[in-house]
Amino acid sequence: MKQTKYLSVDAIVKSGEYPFTRGQVRFFLTKRHKNGLGSAVRKVSKRIYIRKDLFDQWIESQSEKGGQS
């Protein structure tokens, strides 16, 4: 069985794997219902966690959309 990894906003920023600031990630999260990121987000109580594999897919889908005119 595949192990799913969840990250907090701070974990995403501190990992160095992503070029995003804390403010950018929070902006993505506030617009998640419009930008398609909602499927990667899990809310537990008041905390928000992002599923790493789905977040990576979302990033790739954004670059594909950006290339189309």
Provide the pLDDT confidence category of residue 66 given band limits of 50, 70 and 90.
low
Taking CA atoms, 45 is separated from 15, 16, 23, in Å, by 24, 27, 21
Q: Which of 65, 56, 45 is nearest to 6 (CA)?
A: 56
Specify the 3-state DSSP secondary structure of 35: helix
d(CA 38, CA 69): 25
Provide the pLDDT confidence category of residue 69 given band limits of 50, 70 and 90.
very low
The pLDDT tens digits of the residues spanning 24-57 come to 999 999 999 999 999 999 999 999 999 999 999 9
Main-chain phi, psi angles of 47, to 5 degrees: -95, 145
